[in-house]
């Protein structure tokens, strides 16, 4: 039996909504099949007031073993470092986070806000929000760069806005069943199993990407969304087109450009007008190129691909 505690800081509850929709395994499977005991969760917990405080204090003291501490949302430090803008169970949430993280065998940050600070931490960051161990791409965050949980791991970051439900439950199962040490993390402490490939990996528009045919308006079923509509699929690490959403689809499959929500810089360009759903260019060349591709190579590839493009690539091949 592994005890799990889930708290929310500066959060919209989107990751909770996602988690509750998990299918493989489901949130119920965690309890019935994988021996996870959910001590408390904002949408599931029964305890209130003094009872909840008692439970939290028990986790901090070690009286209640805390195997997995899941945090969703930013750690709010404002105003002036007090954390008073996000009070919970009688004190600033940041104080609970500091103590519970020290007590837990594993700490898991769910969603962009808990991992990198997300939208709340975007400049000018009025609430002085941060992620657990990162502020955007800068290492440190609330717990500090050197933080290690009792199991010897740094915070396990599962980013996304929201994170896919199965990324969450699969990692929780791995940790709860004693395979935490098998989780290989990348430089940003994301599980490599999910975040080594790109959002583009498995995208149904890859043929159009290869032949440089662009979607120019929403609703077009042909064309790649990268060239004009701001899709970040080629430079975003996520398995969104491998582990499908609702088992059916993904943003790009549905015609929605990837917003790059698993990367620390999300939301890109601070959401300045004209930067969302529009590929930013400098002298006609995309400002952000597919990862590992330089400008010269990109131009050469595009010229060759355009010249080689077959006629069908310019047509809608998804005929009803």
Q: Does 43 bind other proteins (CB under 8 A)?
A: no
Site mask for other proteins (CB under 8 A), range 199-228, x = bound = -------------xxx-xx---------xx
Q: Sign (positive/negative) of CA torsion 290, 292, 296, 299?
A: negative
CB of 265 to other proteins, least distance (A): 17
Closest separation between CB of residue 260 and other proteins, Å? 17
275 binds other proteins per the rule CB under 8 A: yes
Closest approach of Cβ 216 to other proteins, in Å?
5
Shortest separation between residue 309's beta carbon and other proteins, angstroms: 5
Structure tokens given for 302: 């595009």
Q: Is 271 in the site for other proteins (CB under 8 A)?
A: no
Does residue 274 belong to the site contacting other proteins (CB under 8 A)?
yes
Tokens read off for 218: 């929403």
Say how far apart CA 320 and CA 75 lie, in whole Å.
48
Smallest distance, other proteins to C-beta of residue 279, A: 8
Distance of closest approach, residue 306 Cβ to other proteins, in angstroms: 6
Choose the binding region for other proteins from 47-55, 123-131, 258-266, 282-290 (rule: CB under 8 A): 282-290
**Per CB under 8 A, does 314 bind other proteins?**
yes
Of the pair 32, 281, the CB lying nearest other proteins is at 281
Tokens of 137: 């791409």
Look at the block and give the residue holding tokens 């837990």: 104
* CA 271 to mean position of chain CA atoms: 18
Q: Is 178 in the site for other proteins (CB under 8 A)?
A: no
Using CB under 8 A, which of 284, 294, 319, 320 touches other proteins? 284
d(CA 171, CA 195): 13
Q: Is 319 in the site for other proteins (CB under 8 A)?
A: no
- Counting residues that bind other proteins (by CB under 8 A) gives 27
Place of tokens 């990198």: 116
| 306 near other proteins, judged by CB under 8 A | yes
* Residues in contact with 285: Cβ distance below 8 Å, sequence separation at least 6, in sequence order: 295, 298, 299
Interface residue with other proteins among 46, 48, 283, 320 (CB under 8 A) is: 283
Among 28, 271, 299, 317, binds other proteins (CB under 8 A): 299
**Alpha carbon distances (Å) from 261 to 113, 115, 197, 277, 285:** 10, 11, 14, 13, 23
Answer yes or no whether residue 307 interacts with other proteins by CB under 8 A: yes
Q: What is the DSSP string of 88-149?
A: ETTEEHHHHHHHHHHH-SEEEEEHHHHHT-TTTTSTT-TT-EE-SSEETTEE-TTT-TT---
Q: Is 265 left (phi over 0), alpha (psi -120 to 50) or beta?
A: alpha
Question: Which DSSP symbol is given to 158?
Answer: E
Residue from 282, 294, 319, 320 that binds other proteins (CB under 8 A)? 282
Helix (H), strand (E), coil (C) string for 224-247: ECCCCCCCCHHHCECCCCCCCECC
CB of 222 to other proteins, least distance (A): 10
Q: Does 280 bind other proteins (CB under 8 A)?
A: yes
Build a one-symbol-per-residue string for 46-65: x at contacts with other proteins by CB under 8 A, - elsewhere.
--------------------
Nearer to other proteins, 283 or 320 (CB): 283
Per-residue burial over 29-65, b if 16 or more Cβ lie within 10 Å, else e, is: ebeeebebbbbbbeeebeeeeeebbebbeebbeeebb
Could you list the residues that contact other proteins (CB under 8 A)?
Answer: 212-214, 216-217, 227-228, 274-275, 278, 280-287, 298-299, 302-303, 306-307, 309, 311, 314
């Amino acid at each position: 039996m592994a005890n799990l505690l889930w708290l929310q800081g500066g959060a919209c509850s989107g990751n909770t909504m996602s988690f509750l929709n998990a299918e493989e395994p489901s949130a119920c499977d965690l309890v019935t099949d994988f021996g996870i005991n959910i001590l408390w969760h904002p949408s599931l917990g029964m305890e209130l007031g003094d009872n909840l405080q008692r439970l939290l204090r028990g986790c901090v003291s070690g009286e209640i073993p805390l195997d997995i501490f899941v945090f969703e949302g930013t750690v709010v430090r404002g105003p002036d470092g007090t954390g008073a803008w996000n009070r919970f169970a009688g004190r600033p949430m940041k104080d609970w986070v500091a103590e519970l993280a020290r007590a837990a065998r594993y700490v898991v940050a769910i969603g962009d806000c808990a991992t990198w600070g997300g939208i709340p931490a975007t400049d000018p960051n009025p609430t002085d929000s941060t992620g657990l161990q990162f502020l955007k791409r800068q290492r440190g965050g609330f717990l500090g760069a050197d933080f290690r949980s009792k199991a010897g791991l740094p915070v396990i970051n599962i980013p996304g806005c929201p994170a896919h439900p199965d990324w969450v439950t699969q990692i929780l199962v791995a940790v709860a069943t004693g395979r935490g040490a098998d989780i290989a993390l990348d430089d940003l402490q994301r599980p490599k199993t999910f975040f080594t490939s790109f959002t583009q990996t498995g995208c149904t528009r890859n043929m159009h990407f290869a032949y440089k045919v662009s979607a120019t308006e929403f609703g077009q079923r042909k064309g790649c969304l990268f060239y004009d509509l701001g899709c970040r699929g080629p430079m975003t690490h996520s398995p969104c087109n491998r582990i499908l959403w609702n088992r059916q689809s993904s943003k790009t499959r549905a015609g929605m450009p990837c917003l790059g929500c698993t990367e620390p810089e999300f939301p890109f360009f601070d959401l300045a007008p004209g930067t969302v759903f529009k590929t930013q260019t400098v002298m006609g060349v995309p400002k952000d190129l597919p990862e590992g591709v330089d400008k010269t190579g990109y131009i050469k590839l595009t010229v060759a691909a355009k010249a080689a493009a077959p006629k069908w690539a310019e047509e809608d091949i998804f005929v009803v």
